[in-house]
Amino acid sequence: MSLYREGAPSGGQPESVPPNQEPTTSPRKPREPIFNQLPVGVAVLIGLIIVAHLVFSLLNPMAQAEALAKFALSPALFAKDLSAGDWMPALTMLFGYQFLHGGTLHIVMNLAMLLQAGPIAEAGLRRNQGSTLRFVLFFLLCGAGGGLFFCALNPGAQAVTIGASGAISGVFAGFLWGAIGLARPGQAMLKPVLASAVVFLLINVGLAALARGFNFVPIAWESHLGGFVAGLILYPIFARLGRPNTPA
């Protein structure tokens, strides 16, 4: 996953103050710590991902292999479980793979993206009841969508995928929807949102596919794309859930 940061604002010239007139300044409000500003849903997911990674890291190699066999998403095993009617192992893979990561860099990059995109995505749901639960469920379903897309494009493959990248790709789609919904009246958001979507897809799908194609980095770009599409579809639905009924 790639971290997008807003560019620092360019410095401007200070306004001139007329003679014999004291400049007026308004007191600045103290900035709250970043963790006080995190929405509950984002904080819960970050905590779960970190705890899962720490537990996995503390396991011995044999226990890690057993955990991967149970939770990592394998298209071959997933299809086998479904065809046999074993729904529980299939669902365990489909949702469990989202909380395992292949190292410190992997988890740091995913958490950085979640920290950036998650607050806006959850804020777009905050006007309705139960936004925290809906955001967590939205995250999980986007990850499931990414996993299903990975399996669909790699039928019968023995390779496995792990990580929250698919889910966070869906959160980024929610971030784009949320940015539109939270925009001020008259604020043009379509062009910057479309530009952000194109850049995201070029980096997280296009470059990721090239990196794997040239055996540089084994990135499951299919889960990125599937999670992003799932987020585009699911976010408007989740934004409407919990909205109080209004008289006609």
Which DSSP helix (H) or strand (E) runs through 79? Answer: helix 75-83
Q: Give the separation between CA 241 and CA 144, rounded to whole angstroms.
A: 20
Q: Where are the domains of the chain?
A: 39-240
Q: Rounded to whole angstroms, how far apart are CA atoms 198 and 50?
A: 30
Global pTM reads 0.80
Place of tokens 């139960």: 130
What type of residue sits at position 12?
G
Q: Which residues are CB-neighbours of 35 under 8 A, at least 6 positions away?
A: 43
Helix (H, G, I), strand (E, B) or coil at 194: helix
User: Which DSSP category does 161 fall into?
Assistant: B
Instruction: Quote the DSSP letter at residue 98.
Output: G
Amino acid at 83: S
* pLDDT tens, residue order, the chain (248 aa): 332 223 333 344 334 444 454 445 445 554 544 445 789 999 999 999 999 999 999 999 999 999 999 999 999 999 999 999 999 999 999 999 999 999 999 999 999 999 999 999 999 887 666 788 999 999 999 999 999 999 999 999 998 999 999 999 999 999 999 888 776 776 667 778 888 888 888 888 887 788 777 777 778 999 999 999 999 999 999 988 866 554 44
Beta bridge partners of 161: 73
Two structure tokens written together for 231: 């987020």
Q: Judge: domain 39-240, CATH 1.20.1540.10.
A: yes
- Residue 99 and residue 111 in contact, taking contact as beta carbons nearer than 8 Å: no
CA distance 5 to 234: 25
